[in-house]
């Protein structure tokens, strides 16, 4: 796994294998192609950060800042190591339960990335639907901002009050979803 482009482009990064399902280079390239110049000087929030690949890619491509949140200790350590290796400024790593952290955070972000564990079986928690169903996530989004989420291509795009699906693109077993607050288009 590597950072694709920008200041730290082509830098290999570590992945905490036991606790993540990393977004592939191909899918990350597609995400950042969709976002284009929106990433420059953006305030970014990367939820369920895993290796930090999305946050690191954001910083490498010119984001002003990125808060990377994951609840797993192994993920936190790998993100910190990757951030130091990449020598990118503006990154902050937080080890916390994503749902609880979003509820107490007071920041505003231009782009919020969410790549939670997929709900694969009946009874699995649908982290994305839960996050979107509470007002805290919308409150974190700056005017004109977007939520970029990843889910399994085999599932429907989550719907929640206050959110409008702007785009859905499928890449192999992954779907990338671009949401705006309802009525913001």
The full set of domain ranges for the chain reads 17-181
- Whole-number pLDDT of residue 80: 97
Residue 163 has pLDDT above 80, yes or no: yes
Local structure of 161: helix, strand or coil: coil
**Cross-strand bridge partners of residue 2:** 12
pTM score: 0.93
Residue 183 has pLDDT above 90, yes or no: no
Overall average pLDDT of the 48-62 stretch? 96
Token digits for 39?
A: 């990433």
| CATH number for the domain formed by residue range(s) 17-181 | 3.40.50.150
Q: Measured between alpha carbons, how far is 121 from 128 in angstroms, rounded to an integer?
A: 15
**Cross-strand bridge partners of residue 167:** 178
Overall average pLDDT of the 42-58 stretch? 96
Do the bridges between strand 163-171 and strand 174-181 make them parallel or antiparallel, or are there none, so unpaired? Answer: antiparallel
């Amino acid at each position: 796994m590597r950072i694709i482009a920008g200041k730290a482009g082509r830098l290999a990064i570590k992945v905490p294998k036991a606790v993540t399902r990393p977004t592939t280079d191909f899918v990350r390239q597609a995400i950042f192609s969709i976002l284009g110049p929106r990433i420059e000087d953006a305030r970014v929030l990367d939820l369920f950060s895993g290796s930090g690949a999305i946050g690191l890619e954001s910083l490498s491509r010119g984001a002003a800042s990125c808060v990377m949140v994951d609840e797993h200790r192994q993920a936190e350590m790998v993100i910190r190591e990757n951030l130091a290796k990449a020598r990118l400024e503006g990154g902050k790593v937080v080890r916390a339960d994503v749902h609880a952290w979003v509820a107490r955070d007071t920041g505003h972000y231009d782009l919020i990335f969410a790549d939670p564990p997929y709900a694969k079986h009946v009874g699995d928690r649908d982290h994305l639907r839960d996050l979107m169903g509470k007002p805290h996530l919308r409150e974190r989004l700056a005017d004109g901002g977007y939520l970029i989420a990843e889910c399994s291509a085999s599932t429907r795009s989550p719907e929640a009050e206050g959110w409008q699906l702007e785009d859905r693109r499928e890449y192999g077993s992954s779907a990338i979803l671009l949401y705006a607050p309802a009525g913001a288009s």
